[in-house]
Amino acid sequence: MILVKENRCDFCGTCVAVCPVDAIELREADISIVHATCIDCDICIWVCPIDVLSSDQKPEAKND
């Protein structure tokens, strides 16, 4: 499952652009993952420039 550190997010939409199944809902200052749709491919974690996203399977996906 994708975890979101909401306070860290800049709401830039980079993660939304790559999500293959459109599972990220993003407004002006509000982000959420639609877990029912998400296929846990993790690419949103990689492209986020400021490490907002992580996976509960692999919490330290970046720089580990």
Partner 1 sequence: MTDYDVIVVGGGPAGSMAAHAAAEKGLKTIMLEKDRDIGYPVRCGEAVGDVALRQFMDPRPEWIAATITKIRMRSPNNTKIDFDSPGAGYILHRRIFDYALANRASQAGAEIQTRAYVDGLLFENDTVRGVKYQYMGEPRTLSAKLVIAADGVESRIGRMAGIRTAIKLRDLESGYQVTVGNIDIDQEMIDFYVGSNWAPGGYLWVFPKGDRMANIGLGVIGTRAKDYNSHDLIHDFLKEHYPKASMLTSVCGGVPIAQTLSQITANGIMLTGDAARMVNPVSGGGIVSGMHGGKIAGEVAAEAISTGDVSIKGLAEYPRRWRKAGGKSHEALHRISESIYDIDDDKLNKIAAKLEGVPEKDRSLLKIFTTVAREKPKILLDVTRAFTGF
Binding site for partner 1 (CB under 8 A): 10, 12-14, 16-20, 22, 26-28, 43, 46-51, 61-63
Cα distance between residue 8 and residue 24, in whole Å: 16
Q: Which of 3, 30, 46, 50 binds ligand SF4 (CB under 6 A)?
A: 50
For 32, half-sphere exposure in the C-beta direction (CA atoms, 13 angstrom radius) is 5
Q: At 33, which helix (H) or strand (E)?
A: strand 30-33
Q: Which of 13, 30, 46, 57 binds ligand SF4 (CB under 6 A)?
A: 13
Q: Which of 9, 14, 11 lies closest to 43, judged by CA?
A: 14
Contacting residues toward ligand SF4, per CB under 6 A: 2, 9-15, 18-21, 23-24, 26, 31, 33, 38-44, 48, 50, 52-53
